[in-house]
Structure 1
Amino acid sequence: MKPNIILRKNSKTVNTTIQLTGSKSECNRALVIEALSQGRVKVTNVSDAADAVLLAGILRSELSEAGVQNSEARTQNSESESGPLTTDNRQLTTVNIGPAGTAMRFLTAYYAISGEEVILTGSERMKQRPIGILVDALRTLGANIDYVEQDGYPPLHIKGGFEQKTDLISIQGNISSQYITALLLIAARLPQGLRLQIEGELTSRPYVEMTLSMLQQAGIQHQWEDNVISIASQEFAETSIWVEPDWSAASYWYAIAALSDEAELFLPGLTSYSLQGDSVIGEIMANFGITSQFKDGGVYLKKEPKPIVRKIFDMIQCPDLAQTVVVVCAALGHEATFTGLETLKIKETDRIAALQNELGKMGVKLIEKGQVYKLDCSEKFIPQKMTIKTYEDHRMAMAFAPLALIIPELEVEEAAVVDKSYPAFWTDLEKAGFEVLDV
């Protein structure tokens, strides 16, 4: 991990063009589709986010025996973090995805039907993130999966020998959408197809719609009637999927614009008809005086004076934007209320606790009452220097970085954590006039 960095911004004016990397959410789905199609689908504009690079290395190695031997992520058990992993005195191939939560969910489903026998593992934090709901669903379908250490959590021993037992799976709608997406991605490769019955309210619906839209680009048709999504067994089409730039990454530039006195930014490649649910950041940030104008093949952001009146933000469809919006509200002293944050506690870190800890350093409280969270800015102050702990969470680093516009010296711990989704973030801040200094 790189050393800590210091951020400074002498001027509160931002005027620049930022070329964002491909969407991690789109890219991860596209890479799984590419692998399941056995190369009939090609992916372009692959994200340079660490998670996407890792997943590309694993999945594209599946299309080439030589690539399998050279993949850094696929290691023999002797190199595993968990020590030797063996079954009946056999050494098994280990796939270590580190802290990449999306890769863990998607690869669990991928390997369940691949016929391969692997150990799928990750970082120590990954071993604390639940996966039992997805494993139970795959076992119901016919997958042969065991837990290596703790029931309900990685590492997983995926044994191959998939024989489909049913085409109907019921799954709660208020769980991580990545479980649902993992099942939908493999549906067309199942001999009987899949009928996925969603029970209760579907959270993060845009992510499920993104998955289905990308499958449709690859020739996979579906039906969605009431609470049942049906995908028949069918072949992928020969096509190419272009990955749009990342709206989640764009959210940090909206935050920078919101905390600036003057801001004019151009983000090429972003469209008003994006598949990404996080494109709603434009609508959210309009409440803070940021206009979004789509022209010249991208979006122009501009800061305009506007009183903030919106008091309630429901983040249930875009939980990855929560930290960004909470920090902006805190910085502006806007005592907003937030709902839809249920999944934040099982992300890269417990993001609720992390927000509470770090906002407390400037006197702001994030008060939890059931499933409602309220900002209390009554004791807010602006310190001359503040150090942000990132908790091995890329979004903590990037959501708090815009505070350098109001805090004279902002130190960010473990700066390289941004590599997970936006490796060029600190370089891009320098383009925008921020000082980025190693400690």
Structure 2
Amino acid sequence: MTTPATTATREADADWLAPTATGPLDATVEVPGSKSLTNRYLVLAALASGPGRLRGALRSRDTELMAAALATLGTRLTDDARTDATAAGADPDWLITPAPLRGPATIDCGLAGTVMRFLPAVAALADGPIRFDGDEGARVRPMGPVLTALRALGVSITESGAVGHLPFTVTGRGSVRGGAVDVDASASSQFVSGLLLAAARFEQGLTVRHIGATLPSLPHIDMTVQLLRDAGVTVDDSRPAIWRVAPGPIAARDVRVEPDLSNAGPFLAAALIAGGTVRVPGWPATTTQPGALLPQILERMGATTRLDGDVLTVTGTGVVHGLDLDLHAAGELAPTLAALAALGDSPTRLRGIAHLRGHETDRLAALAIEITRLGGQVEQTADGLVITPRPLHAATMRTYHDHRMATAGALLGLRIPGLLVENVATTAKTLPDFPGLWRRMLAR
């Protein structure tokens, strides 16, 4: 986590001039696969009973870090370029062949929460020491709950930095007995998902009990549970905030990754700001992705939406309405909605997102500081933001190495000529070639 108080070191050519909309949009945007799904599928494939195939996977920094980490532990991952999709210009499939997990090894987590929080339980199944570290900003992201839970299960963990943070070493013995464990996932649902993903490989399976006051991003846990069930794992989630994973094999599968609905958010939101229509194909009829909440939220903010088959169409008039919104289940949408709110016709309150203080940056503080820098009025509350629209002006919007801060800046730039976005390349974390996709949307 990079704090907003940090003075970022920037090169002049890292600042990106955000394009301004010159008229209503009429664009179709092909959004790459979901990061959340891709990294969960990769973990389950590495722990499966045989080789699997992953189609339509996101190829970004976070997913490449996950693939590299699993390869470091012994999993074999290869590209299959002999597919029709590849011939059409898409990324090749990933072929994943499980193997005994081994150490010693070092895992580079980058800034990927899914890598640093999903893989310690996997590393506990390895034979040997596995060291975890990442970018400087990753060293302040909380890790304590998952480390405490693994220690309670008898896993040896040595911390070489600040307590409850990277870097640390998990020394596996080739197996984990399992049983039951309490975890406080108030800061991130990833602590629960990370334990559940490996639990079927524990000798006794695992019961995870959440003991915190709040549980953010519950749809991401639902996503984990559904993928486990799809792979033949028995999961009992009949009791609130308690999950029981039975021991057993994880089926090898051939699966396709859905588009990343949260990454579709900035493109769909652009229709509200610029007016006109943006379409995203591949929108699933049913999904566990939190981004599925976008259509109803955008309608409340002034859009009309329509799902024709698998194509979601969002149309706006250039008018954005303020709203009072509990985002507890989908906090990752907050930067997109905050940018919309700053251009609204009335104040907006975003609630239930205190956990965003522990993401790539303290997103609440970052959004407040940067929108204020542009002339807006933003107040931080205990669990969110109050955004009161004010006339905005051009400046450099800092991103704090946070991909969603960069896409929020691009949205604001649609209405603010001359706005610069610092380090737009950080969007490659989950959305390769975001600037190119953005320009093509505006050119249509």
TM-score (norm 2): 0.86
Q: Aligned to 2:392, which of 359, 379, 382? A: 382
- Aligned partner of 1:219: which letter? G
Equivalent position of 1:17 in the other structure:
28
Q: Aligned to 2:42, which of 22, 31, 34? A: 31
1:52-100 per-position Cα deviation (integer Å, ceiling 9, x unaligned): 1221232245455798xxxxxxxxxxxxxxxxxxxxxxx9532212221
Q: CA deviation at 1:10?
A: 4.6
Equivalent position of 1:195 in the other structure:
207
Per mean C-alpha deviation after superposition, the further-off stretch among 187-196 and 6-15 is 6-15
Q: CA deviation at 1:40?
A: 4.0
Q: CA deviation at 1:333?
A: 4.2
Q: Aligned to 1:325, which of 337, 341, 351? A: 337
In structure 1, distance between residues paired with 2:391 and 2:150: 50
Q: Aligned to 1:260, which of 263, 269, 274? A: 274
Q: Aligned to 1:423, which of 411, 429, 432? A: 432
Kindly indicate whether the alpha-carbon contact (under 8 Å) linking 2:106 and 2:130 is maintained by their aligned counterparts in 1.
Answer: yes
Kindly indicate whether the alpha-carbon contact (under 8 Å) linking 2:263 and 2:431 is maintained by their aligned counterparts in 1.
Answer: yes
Q: Aligned to 2:418, which of 409, 414, 434? A: 409
Equivalent position of 2:251 in the other structure:
237
Equivalent position of 1:360 in the other structure:
372
Q: CA deviation at 1:340?
A: 1.0
In structure 2, distance between residues paired with 1:269 and 1:63: 33
In structure 2, distance between residues paired with 1:38 and 1:5: 46
Q: Aligned to 1:301, which of 295, 314, 329? A: 314
Q: Which stretches in structure 2 are left out of the alignment for 5+ residues?
A: 1-10, 79-102
In structure 1, distance between residues paired with 2:385 and 2:310: 38
Q: Aligned to 2:238, which of 211, 225, 232? A: 225
- The 1:239/1:165 distance shift into structure 2, 3 A limit, reads closer
In structure 1, distance between residues paired with 2:128 and 2:104: 10
Q: CA deviation at 1:102?
A: 1.4
Q: Aligned to 1:98, which of 98, 107, 110? A: 110
| Partner SS, residue 14 of structure 2 | coil
Equivalent position of 2:86 in the other structure:
none
In structure 2, distance between residues paired with 1:53 and 1:127: 20
1:390-409 per-position Cα deviation (integer Å, ceiling 9, x unaligned): 11111000012111221112
Matches within 5 A, 1:1-400: 3-60=14-71, 62-63=73-74, 93-161=105-173, 164=176, 166-199=178-211, 200-227=213-240, 228-261=242-275, 263-303=276-316, 308=321, 311-377=323-389, 380-383=390-393, 385-400=394-409
In structure 2, distance between residues paired with 1:350 and 1:306: 29
In structure 1, distance between residues paired with 2:77 and 2:433: 31
In structure 2, distance between residues paired with 1:41 and 1:58: 17
Count matched residues: 407
1:255-281 per-position Cα deviation (integer Å, ceiling 9, x unaligned): 2111113x2122111113122012111
In structure 2, distance between residues paired with 1:60 and 1:39: 15
In structure 1, distance between residues paired with 2:320 and 2:172: 58
| Partner SS, residue 419 of structure 2 | strand
- Aligned partner of 2:290: which letter? G
The alignment-based identity, stated in percent, is 28
In structure 2, distance between residues paired with 1:65 and 1:43: 13
In structure 2, distance between residues paired with 1:135 and 1:156: 9
In structure 2, distance between residues paired with 1:175 and 1:244: 26
| Partner SS, residue 172 of structure 2 | coil
1:139-184 per-position Cα deviation (integer Å, ceiling 9, x unaligned): 1112111101221111111111266455111123523000000000
- Aligned partner of 1:21: which letter? P
In structure 1, distance between residues paired with 2:220 and 2:77: 34
In structure 1, distance between residues paired with 2:400 and 2:415: 23
In structure 2, distance between residues paired with 1:66 and 1:296: 34
Q: Which stretches in structure 1 are left out of the alignment for 5+ residues?
A: 68-90
Q: CA deviation at 1:26?
A: 0.7
| Partner SS, residue 223 of structure 2 | helix
- The 1:120/1:343 distance shift into structure 2, 3 A limit, reads same
In structure 1, distance between residues paired with 2:205 and 2:52: 20
- The 1:64/1:348 distance shift into structure 2, 3 A limit, reads closer
Kindly indicate whether the alpha-carbon contact (under 8 Å) linking 2:206 and 2:244 is maintained by their aligned counterparts in 1.
Answer: yes
TM-score (norm 1): 0.87
In structure 1, distance between residues paired with 2:239 and 2:160: 38
Kindly indicate whether the alpha-carbon contact (under 8 Å) linking 1:41 and 1:236 is maintained by their aligned counterparts in 2.
Answer: no
| Partner SS, residue 368 of structure 1 | strand
1:17-67 per-position Cα deviation (integer Å, ceiling 9, x unaligned): 111110001111111001111544432211022101221232245455798
Q: CA deviation at 1:203?
A: 2.1
Per mean C-alpha deviation after superposition, the further-off stretch among 105-114 and 313-322 is 105-114
| Partner SS, residue 128 of structure 2 | coil
Kindly indicate whether the alpha-carbon contact (under 8 Å) linking 1:258 and 1:289 is maintained by their aligned counterparts in 2.
Answer: yes
| Partner SS, residue 182 of structure 1 | helix
- The 1:305/1:405 distance shift into structure 2, 3 A limit, reads closer
- The 1:346/1:302 distance shift into structure 2, 3 A limit, reads same
In structure 1, distance between residues paired with 2:271 and 2:76: 48
- The 1:264/1:154 distance shift into structure 2, 3 A limit, reads same
In structure 1, distance between residues paired with 2:77 and 2:67: 15
Per mean C-alpha deviation after superposition, the further-off stretch among 99-108 and 244-253 is 99-108
